[in-house]
Chain A
Amino acid sequence: MASIYYYRWRRTKSHIMAALCFASALIALIPLFLIFYYTMSKGLSSINWSFFTQMPKPAGETGGGMANALIGTGILIAIGSSIGLPVGILAGIYLSAHRTTLFSRIVRFLTEVLNGIPSIVIGVVAYILVVIPMKRFSALAGGVSLGILMIPLVTRTAEEMLNLIPQSYREASLGLGISRWKTTLFVILPAAFKGIFTGILLSIARAAGETAPLLFTALGNRFWSTQLDQPIASLTVFIYDYSKAPFDDWNRQAWAAALVLIVLVMLINIIFRIVTRKRYA
């Protein structure tokens, strides 16, 4: 009865393949847990109050903190948001209002293209646009690069979240004689606010985690600086510099800064997921 054996073989093969698929899910999750484990175990010991409030110490001395990098990242994100949010939200409103025209198809496609452009290339563009004319590295240049980076993320979230609002909202508002722009601004936008807001947080988290575009725009700074026309420190460049340094204490601080970054990014991501899941349901 060869057919029985053949059937058994087919069944066994099916089980083997299912087990392999399960295994690949497990294999992918191991590095995730390893990364969490190492940032926790190596970073936690260096996290204390002075890490957030003090300035970096000179090379060779232990201790010190990354207060300037925290402020720097904050300033860079503020500049980036002031560019990325208005452009992204308004372009998103346009795309959501005109879903099928040729122009909005082109813009939608270019948003995807912009999203796929490596962040280091965006850094080069910000270098050409801001650093060369100003003749020096500056917080402004770093902020511009983060702003360009945020535009496609914000545009897409704004469009998607606005599209989720039922068409009947718009119809009801127009039916009451309210003009289109007031309908969009005061009916549709508030209804989509929660989704757009968390989407904005998500793009801020992404910008906060970027290093490559800052390397030759904001450059980094070991001293306290809040001036927009001067090089400025950031959390990610701090991690990069400290990870390459030959001092154990600096390496530990790099892990600690990575822990701060990862906690921030993960929190925002999980909040985003909870909020959008409720929306979809």
Chain B
Amino acid sequence: MISSTEEEIPNITSDAAKSSSLSGLLKPGGKNLGDFIFENTTRLFAFLVLSLVLLMAYEMFTKSLPSINRFGWSFISSSTWDPVHDQFGALPFIFGTLFSSLIGLMIALPLSVGIAIFLSELCPQWLEHPVSLLVELLAAIPSIVYGLFGIFVMTPWLRDTVEPFLGDHLGFIPLFTGPPYGFGMLAAGLILSLMILPIIASISRDVMKAIPGSLREAAFALGATKWEAIKIVLSGSKSGILGATLLGLGRAVGETMAVTMVIGNRPSISFSLFDPGHTMASVLANEFTEATSELYTSSLIEIALLLFILTIVLNAAARFIVWSVTKKYQAEY
């Protein structure tokens, strides 16, 4: 009896495969008119997402043409930003964006990797969920609330406590020179580090959790301490953490409100952490509505275009790295 039913099952499936109507249903693009309409409607909307990105790039490019034609490459190498005389160079903003993001990254990266190690390797099971929830809540706080916190809580603290202290004790390093305003690169970097920390921490944690347990067990079996085993896990998740870092950098580069509220908004190039600066995003937030001449608006749109390209490159690189890492582990284990 049993053997006969086993023989029947393949027969049914092969019949089903032969029957054109059923295989037509199971494959996309069946012959039903409703299916045809529904299929193509959803495809149209998927196509809409694609065309939206292209449209964004096209519109920003055409609107920034006056500025591109007028200034060419000197737009990104000149540091003159003079709306009165229609002279526009974006270097101070590019510098400010990169400098503040790097400060943020320097602070956020060690902390996030520490958190990721804590969550994936060290903490007891019951603690893991609440802690990761809290860390991820940091990402849910709106940017404007960070800015408010920055203006009224962080900058006074930096001005009165941190910056005088750093200036007194580390003033011989160019990073810590100048009068303590509170508003400036340090404030922007600190706020940015808070905002990108949850991204880097949660992705790094996921990557480390994907490392197979046998690696840790092998390390312990060879007499490794907990930290030595963690180092093995870390070396396996290096590229994943790099991807997470790039994603965090992409977020930091485009962050607008919190940064513009604490950075001081002065287009100068200075390597002191205490000095005010300006970023590509903050100049857009501050000056876009005030732009009077066509060239002024066009220059601002070119800054937006540069920011667009920068974030796309960072995100694409990050996605590619994270994707290839997860694919590798899925394939190997």
Chain A positions within 8 Å of B, measured between CB atoms, are 10-11, 13-14, 17-18, 20-25, 27-29, 31-32, 34-35, 38-39, 42, 86-87, 90-91, 93-95, 97-98, 103-104, 106-107, 109-114, 116-125, 127-129, 148, 151-152, 155, 171, 174, 179-182, 184-185, 205, 208-212, 215-216, 219, 236, 239-240, 243-244, 251, 254-255, 258, 261-262, 265-266, 269, 273
Contact = CB atoms under 8 A, between A and B. Distances in A.
A219 B316 CA distance: 32
A211 B144 CA distance: 7
Contacts of A21: 114-115, 117-118, 121-122
A118 B256 contact: yes
Interface in B96-149: 110-115, 117-119, 121-123, 131, 133-135, 137-138, 140-149
A125 to B, nearest CB: 5
19 contacts: A24-B112, A25-B115, A27-B111, A31-B149, A86-B45, A90-B41, A91-B46, A97-B42, A103-B46, A109-B316, A118-B254, A118-B311, A120-B285, A209-B142, A212-B285, A236-B257, A239-B148, A240-B257, A243-B151
Nearest to B117: A21
B289 interface: yes
B45 A87 contact: yes
Given A107-B46, A118-B311, A239 B144 contact: yes
A127 to B, nearest CB: 7
Question: For the complex, would chain A's binding face be called helix, strand, loop or mixed by DSSP majority?
Answer: helix
A90 B312 contact: no
B262 to A, nearest CB: 11
The 10 A-B pairs with the shortest beta carbon distances in the complex, nearest first, are: A118-B254, A209-B142, A24-B114, A181-B38, A116-B315, A90-B45, A14-B227, A94-B42, A14-B225, A212-B256
B331 interface: no
Contacts, number: 262
Residue of A124, A215, A255, A273 with most partner-chain B CB within 10 A: A124
B17 interface: no
B173 interface: no
B43 interface: yes
B207 interface: no
A252 B308 CA distance: 35
Contacts of B311: 116-118, 121
Contacts of A127: 288
Contact of B152 (A155, A182, A251, A273): A251
Given A11-B225, A29-B134, A117-B56, 16 more contacts: A22-B122, A25-B123, A29-B131, A110-B50, A120-B281, A120-B307, A121-B304, A122-B56, A124-B60, A151-B49, A174-B25, A209-B144, A211-B142, A212-B143, A240-B147, A254-B148
